[in-house]
Amino acid sequence: MREYFDVIIVGGGMVGAALAAALGKDRLQVALVEAGEAPAPVDDDRFDLRVSSLNLASQRLLESVGAWSLIPEERRCPFRHILAWDIQGQGETRFSAESIGLENFGSFVENRVIRHALWASLVEMPNVECFCEAAPIAQLSGRDRVLLELDNGRLLTGSLLVGAEGAGSRVRERAGIRVDVTDYHQRALIINVQTALPQQDVSWQRFTPEGPQAMLPLTGHHASLVWYGDPEKVRAREAMDDETLRTTIEKEFPSRLGGLERVLGRASFPIKRQHARRYTASRVVLVGDAAHVVHPLAGQGLNLGLQDVITLAERLAYAHAHNKDLGGLASIGRYALERRPQTLAMMAATETFHRVFTGGEGLRSAGSAGLALAERLPQAKQWMMRRALGI
Ligand SMILES: Cc1cc2nc3c(=O)[nH]c(=O)nc-3n(C[C@H](O)[C@H](O)[C@H](O)COP(=O)(O)OP(=O)(O)OC[C@H]3O[C@@H](n4cnc5c(N)ncnc54)[C@H](O)[C@@H]3O)c2cc1C
């Protein structure tokens, strides 16, 4: 049995689900294929380890598909200030939402909460069909259709196939698109903590020669700390018992953090950069981590993926409304043309921060002077803030 769709999306993570919702809202016939189960509702008060900063553009996307209102207020932490400084530096750079006439920069939300809200928004869209616990085993791009065979025996056809299955995308591999990978030889230790101080409206990052230390606020005296470093040191910290880890953080993190009441959880992730050489192939397009993985120090990976969604959904809605081929180059080629330079700019920015602040003494002094200089250039700061917000 074959089933026909306008667009088939493989991967129901935050980016794939957001694309399904954006296209579903525009009345396209969409298939969403996800290897795992549909996300379960979040009904406990435990904070998950994976947290993302959603910028204003991402927040607006979630609002437009009806997912934002499904995120309970107690699970979103809006922040108004961002601070960055170097451990040996001459000053800090402070970004304030107020200085560009905004109430906040965006919100920190747990990934599982974002993903569940997006999937819940799909329930209202009968034109989106979800195929869970299913993965493609073969794909074939023809002249006017693409054919996808799933491991549960289903055969789907569509005008366009979207690879949204994250960094290890098989859609990308089967389409013959190669990737360039840079291993930073760093891991990020994520630690959820309960803090003595309330500091919920600020997110900060201190650069050290080993890697940045960051505080991402969560609601109610909770925070997600990110401690980048040498893989062996990170593994050793990850293996500490809660009390040893708590006192180590109090000693090694900036005093601004204040005391820690408790360590609530930890996990570590390898840090790499990855970029697909092309975002498109015949009737195939890539979005999110399937297309690009950036160093998470600027907290922009998901925001880039959701910006892909905004741009691709616009192109496809236009093609659909004008009876044009959804998988044609006019639609997906323009998407790639728009998105690639944006991603490259973000990659260059995060790469510069990483290299400067983990480089030798001279580079770090230059970086530190750069932060101090940025503090004295309000227009440059405003430009950077608008870029990071996606507005
Ligand atoms: C330490 C760390 C901190 C980060 N912090 C931030 C932050 O603050 N802000 C931010 O914007 N970004 C952040 N990021 C980046 C962000 O987490 C990713 O960019 C984002 O999760 C990518 O989403 P995705 O939907 O593209 O891919 P994924 O989240 O990888 O989702 C892929 C989905 O595809 C499914 N799948 C996989 N294979 C198949 C298959 N064969 N068939 C069907 N389905 C399949 C998976 O089950 C999954 O549901 C961070 C990343 C790291 C490592």
Determine the residue of 8, 9, 15 to mutate for testing ligand 1's pocket, defined as the one with the most ligand atoms within 8 A of the Cβ atom: 15
165 touches ligand 1 (CB under 6 Å): yes
Q: Tell me, what's the pLDDT at 2?
A: 64
Flag residues of the chain having pLDDT under 70: 1-2, 90, 356-357, 359-391
Q: What is the pLDDT of residues 2-42, one digit of tens each?
A: 689 999 999 999 999 999 999 999 999 999 999 999 999 99
Q: Are residues 261 and 279 in the same domain?
A: no
Q: Tell me, what's the pLDDT at 350?
A: 82
What is the 111 CA–ligand 1 centroid distance (Å)?
9
Determine the residue of 289, 310, 389 to mutate for testing ligand 1's pocket, defined as the one with the most ligand atoms within 8 A of the Cβ atom: 289
91 domain residue, yes or no: no
Q: Tell me, what's the pLDDT at 87?
A: 84
Q: Are residues 133 and 48 in the same domain?
A: yes
In what helix (H) or strand (E) does residue 51 lie, and over which residues does it extend?
strand 51-55
Q: Which domain holds residue 263?
A: 185-272
Q: Tell me, what's the pLDDT at 93?
A: 86
89 touches ligand 1 (CB under 6 Å): no
Q: Tell me, what's the pLDDT at 354?
A: 73
Q: Tell me, what's the pLDDT at 351?
A: 82
Rg (CA), the chain: 21
16 touches ligand 1 (CB under 6 Å): yes
Q: What atom in ligand 1 is closest to the CA of residue 293?
A: 19
66 touches ligand 1 (CB under 6 Å): no
Domain boundary among 237, 256, 272: 272
Q: Are residues 165 and 243 in the same domain?
A: no
Q: What is the pLDDT of residues 75-125, one digit of tens each?
A: 999 999 999 888 877 678 888 999 888 899 999 999 999 999 999 999 999
Q: Are residues 49 and 193 in the same domain?
A: no
